[in-house]
Amino acid sequence: MGAFWEIFGIVFLSSVKFLFAPSLAIGSGFGYLKTIVITFCGGSIGILFFYYFGYWIINKFKSKNKTTLSSEAKKKKIFTRTNKLIVRIKSKYGLMGLSFITPAIISIPVGSILAAKYFRKNPKTLSYLLLSLFFWCVLLTSISYLFKESF
């Protein structure tokens, strides 16, 4: 029963903050292939959950804002530093760049929600996110496995 909770914890960590999950799995004594499978499953669950849940949240905010803005005078958009950064990343790197940095550099929830917001109509969005996740699974697991004796 202890192994179940250990796997569950790694799957959960993989779905939220993927960068640390392969190292934790290797440190917990899981083998190379088992680590890849567990972290990929967890990351995939996170991507799918936050992609579809994020899309649902975005629609809720849009419908709420439309009702409040229709009764009030439309306000001028304010461009904050964060908004400018998001637009710059979206226009410069696109879907491929967002997919590449999602699992390891930014977290899976943030990357999946941004992908749902900006690239929802592209049928390749989920494929790119999952392919990038697999790449990072293999890379981070390989690095962790090579350096497992050091820790």
- In angstroms, what is the C-alpha Rg of the chain? 18
To the question of pTM greater than 0.85 for the whole model, the response is: no
- 63-118 pLDDT, tens digit each: 766 655 544 555 677 778 777 777 777 788 888 988 988 888 888 998 999 899 88
Q: Can you give the pLDDT at residue 55?
A: 79
pLDDT tens digit sequence for 107-148: 899 899 989 988 989 999 999 999 999 999 999 999 999 988
Do 116 and 95 touch, CB atoms closer than 8 A? no
Q: How far apart are CA 9 and CA 131, in angstroms?
A: 23
Q: How far apart are CA 146 and CA 27, in angstroms?
A: 12
What does the domain layout of the chain look like in residue ranges? 2-69+78-146
pLDDT of amino acid 25: 93
CB 141 within 8 A of CB 18: no
Looking at residue 11, its pLDDT comes to: 94
Q: Cα separation of 27 and 114, whole Å? A: 32
